[in-house]
Amino acid sequence: MGCGLITFRNAVLLVAVFSILGAVLQGEHVMKTIGTGIVSTELNYRAILVSMICSGFFVTLATIFRIPVSTSQAIVGGVIGIGLAVGAEVNYSKIATIAGSWVLCPIMVMGLSYTLSRVMGYVLRRLQYGAMLVQNAIGWLAIFSACYVAYSMGANNAGNAVGPIANLGIVPPKVLLLIGGLSIAIGAATYGRKVADTVGKGITPLDIPGAFVAQISSAFGMHLFSMLGIPVSTSSAIVGAVVGVGLVKGASAIRRKTILTILMGWVFTPILAGVSSFALYRLINLFFT
């Protein structure tokens, strides 16, 4: 929606429907990783509540300031902090795999979007993009690719959100994933416009073909890692794809200040979520133990 192809309201409706579908149909892979892959020891209610509050706080704070940070990074940082606070066994090899994917995914997606942009430019020149039929076709492709982004986002982020409470056994996994998908839809409706403006306009201006390429590339990357059960950053995938499109226009088309702000958000989000989870849990235990 950053390119202005559809209204924000219609974009939110698409995100709601397809993020819920992605969450319910394929969100279980990431949910298992967050639930048992990072900390093998079963966490208590208090620890889970603290990790989710701290993770959600920093994601919400960044969203208010229009910084597209990662829910995956926040919740992974929060779970690690809680694991250390309770003295649980932390799976550092799994953490290394997840952290590596945070670097690999945006690079992979950026390369894919750059290549597809070159191919798209060549095809459109041959087909005469100014023709109304071609413009309409690209417009519909962009809308379909936005639906794929929402589906992939649901498959990855819903598992992040509900993973910590999946092992408590109080709610069936599919119901948890449905709640996670609905939460993504509510978040898109309430705070999504600010981040959409940053990604769609703040990094590099996107036309409709550029939006299609960025969306299909980022969706593919998120979907691939979701199937592997690896919680990747939705924001890093989308930002990487937008940067790849911008590089076709030349490095000068990329707004470096915006990129630097986003990178700082990616670095500090898991650190702050982890440190605050650790500190808050220890503080609460002083009063309730």
In the chain, domain spans: 8-288
Q: Name the band, by pLDDT with cuts 50, 70 and 90, for residue 19.
A: very high
Residues 6+ apart with CB under 8 A from 35: 163, 164, 166, 167
Give the distance from CA 138 to its chain's centroid: 25
Is a pLDDT exceeding 90 seen at residue 202?
no
Three-state SS string across 26-94, please?
Answer: HCHHHHHHHHHHCECCCCCHHHHHHHHHHHHHHHHHHHHCCCCCCHHHHHHHHHHHHHHHHCCCECHHH
Instruction: List CB contacts of 284: < 8 A, sequence separation 6 or more.
Output: 46, 50
Confidence at residue 147, expressed as pLDDT on a 0 to 100 scale: 93
**What pLDDT shows up at residue 113?**
95
pLDDT, mean over the chain: 85
Which two three-digit tokens encode residue 144? 């379909």
Which of 32-36, 204-208, 228-232 is modeled with the greatest confidence? 228-232
Mean of the pLDDT values across residues 117-122? 92
Tens-digit pLDDT profile for residues 69-114: 778 889 999 999 999 999 988 899 999 999 899 889 999 999 999 9
| Euclidean distance between CA atoms 46 and 49, whole angstroms | 5
Range of lowest pLDDT (1-10, 202-211, 239-248): 1-10
**Per-residue model confidence (pLDDT) at position 78:** 92
> Whole-angstrom Cα distance, residue 11 to residue 35?
31
Q: Which two tokens stand for residue 269?
A: 């989000």
